[in-house]
Amino acid sequence: MMTQNNNRNHIKKMLAISCAHVPFHDREVFAIIKQIIRDFRPDELHLLGDILDCFALSRFNKDLRRADEAKHELEIGAKLITELHNIKKDAKMFWYEGNHEFRLMTIQQEHPQLAEFYGGYLDILSLMKAKCDLPFPIKWISHTPLHWLIKDKFFITHGDPKLDGMSYSQHSSYGEKNSMDKMMTSGIYGHSHRIGRHCRNHEEIQGIGCTCELNLGYTPGRNWHHGFAIIYQKNSDWCRAQVYRIDDYAVPFNGFLYTPTGKEKL
């Protein structure tokens, strides 16, 4: 009976990141993220899409050598994901489909000459496992249907309007407000690369920012923010998220100030 009570009162701890856009991920941001995983010891890691940039799959990339570029991206991405996994090997890992990963669905139709490399795989994770060494389990979450931690109460998604119906704005918190108008529930998402929050009664929707370089060459001057989210869930009726902004490569978390080179007590 005591064990059952303990299970009922267990609070699951999760850490979520989004929009790394490998190979354009920010190494210093990930130096911080890795330290926090090591100290926080989450039960689950959630990768909220656009983990790979998939530029080689972009309709804007006309270079037919793109298969070599794609393999390079896959290898770097597999290495980064493996590093995150190895910090806490018993943490379950979830990878959500973003609009950049979704490019794999169309590239084989538009360029059949590349089909031999892409091999008919319909999601990036399956392609990565076929081309790289990725021996541990990762659960792939398609962009549809919307993924609920608690049905109709708390969702996690990438956040692309075309894929999962969220709203987007170039202004922080505008997208969260517009998404609340449609969703009327709580959740977190990425995609916009911005941190924002909108609360209404007991519900709140939050954008968790990005983990890529803030000034990518093909999208300069955007109002982007580095960040991550911590989620706590108790049973099937309570879930809360806290978003942390990594500003100028520093973030206060659990009584310490984390930087790429270490932490100091506050």
Model confidence over 160-189: pLDDT tens digits? 988 887 887 878 888 899 889 888 999 999
Q: How many CB atoms lie within 10 A of CB 217?
A: 7
Per-residue confidence (pLDDT) for residue 236, from 0 to 100:
83
pLDDT score, position 121: 83
Say yes or no to pLDDT of 60 above 50: yes
Token representation of residue 95: 């990878």
Q: What is the Cα–Cα distance from 189 to 180, expressed in whole angstroms? A: 12
Can you tell me the mean pLDDT for 32-55?
96
Average pLDDT over residues 49-53: 94
Q: How far apart are CA 160 and CA 195, in angstroms?
A: 15
Q: What is the mean pLDDT of residues 258-264?
A: 98
Nearest 5°: the CA angle 63, 192, 253 is 120
Among 77, 105, 110, CA closest to 211? 77
Average pLDDT, the chain: 88
Question: Nearest-CA neighbor of 260 among 26, 52, 18, 22?
Answer: 26
pLDDT band per the 50, 70, 90 thresholds, residue 2:
very low
Does the pLDDT value for residue 62 go beyond 60? no
Mean pLDDT of 29-46: 98
- pLDDT value of position 57: 72
pLDDT at 128: 93
Question: Quick one: pLDDT band at residue 222, thresholds 50, 70, 90?
Answer: confident
Which range, 2-16, 28-42, 114-128, 179-193, is most confident?
28-42
Domains within the chain, CATH numbers bracketed: 11-265 (3.60.21.10)
How far apart are alpha carbons 258 and 265 in whole angstroms?
9
- As a whole number, mean pLDDT of residues 109-136 equals 81
Is residue 117 scored above 80 in pLDDT? no
146 DSSP 8-state letter:
P
For residues 175 and 171, give the distance between their C-alpha atoms in angstroms, rounded to a whole number: 7
User: Is the pLDDT assigned to residue 4 strictly greater than 70?
Assistant: no
pLDDT tier at 113, thresholds 50, 70, 90: low
Helices (H), 53-93: 66-87
Cα(24)–Cα(260) distance, integer angstroms: 17
Confidence band for 215, pLDDT divided at 50, 70 and 90? confident
d(CA 263, CA 260): 8
239 strand-pairing partners: 233
Say if residue 56's pLDDT is above 90: no
pLDDT of amino acid 3 = 43
Q: Is the pLDDT of residue 201 over 60?
A: yes
